[in-house]
Amino acid sequence: MDFKSQLNINEVPNHIAIIMDGNGRWAKSHNKPRVFGHKKGVVSVRNVVEGAGEIGVKYLTLYAFSTENWNRPKVEVAALMQLLVATISNEVSSLNKNNVRLLTIGDLKSLPGNCERELEKAKEKTKNNTGLSLVLALSYSSKSEIVRAVKKIANDVVKNEVKIDAINDNLINDYLDTANVPSPELLIRTSGEYRLSNFLLWQIAYSELYFTNKYWPDFTKEDLFEAVFDYQNRERRFGLTSEQIKN
């Protein structure tokens, strides 16, 4: 089924977030080491970034590495970091060619020095691009992000730069890693798992959730278009009734 041709291009989500899950299980199902699944997952990233750009998505946030992932076997983590460095350096020219701007969220200081340097160089080289903004969540945890935001707000209150009565949703948004990124309308998770895994918990308060059994290395731009098609056939009420929305 050709989902792309059925999309209402005027109702494409402004921001899509994806929990890219299943690389290791995909590799196991193919009798390959886990890192082979991560390498195959890079191909899916390239495919989905291209697809998002084709339909006019403005922001695409990918959950690339969580703070909890540091607890995985050291060999796998080391391989992931090497893959990250190689991928970033190899993809910069492609990002520029496709007018994609690279952004990051998460604790980059916890990444190996070469990873952080490559990321900062890639962000600098793509900062003037005006198409899709690709946001990589690296060493990211939503709870940690919220804790950091609370500490920053508390510090500014102590310095009398923020009044207690001024603390509201909008102010908290301004202190999060995603301060300059709109909240996602659609969150996709691959691999058949039905949980959020500490990802953008504040930001997805009203996001539509879409789950697929496909492992991330098997997820293509057509699967992205299907998820957007499903999104466009839902009624988003934001606490209102159907009748209120229609009227």
Q: Specify the length of the chain in residues.
A: 247
Please give the angle made by the CA atoms of 185, 170 and 175, to the nearest 5 degrees. 95
Give the Cα separation of 140 and 65 in Å (integer). Answer: 7
Mean pLDDT along residues 204-221: 98
Residues with active-site annotation: 21, 69
pLDDT in tens, 142-188: 999 999 999 999 999 999 999 999 999 999 999 999 999 999 999 99
Q: Average pLDDT, whole number, for the chain?
A: 94
Give the Cα separation of 205 and 196 in Å (integer). Answer: 12
Whole-model pTM: value is 0.94
Q: What does the pLDDT read at residue 235?
A: 79
Question: What's the per-residue H, E or C state across 141-188?
Answer: CHHHHHHHHHHHHHHHHHCCCCCHHHCCHHHHHHHCCCCCCCCCCEEE
Q: What does the pLDDT read at residue 202?
A: 98
Mean pLDDT along residues 212-233: 98
Which CA distances in Å does 241 have to 18, 32, 122, 224? Answer: 28, 50, 45, 29
pLDDT in tens, 66-125: 999 999 988 899 888 989 988 998 999 999 999 999 999 999 999 888 899 999 999 999
Our measurement of the distance from residue 14's CA atom to the centroid of its chain's CA atoms, rounded to an integer in Å, reads 13
Tokens, residue 170: 């909008």
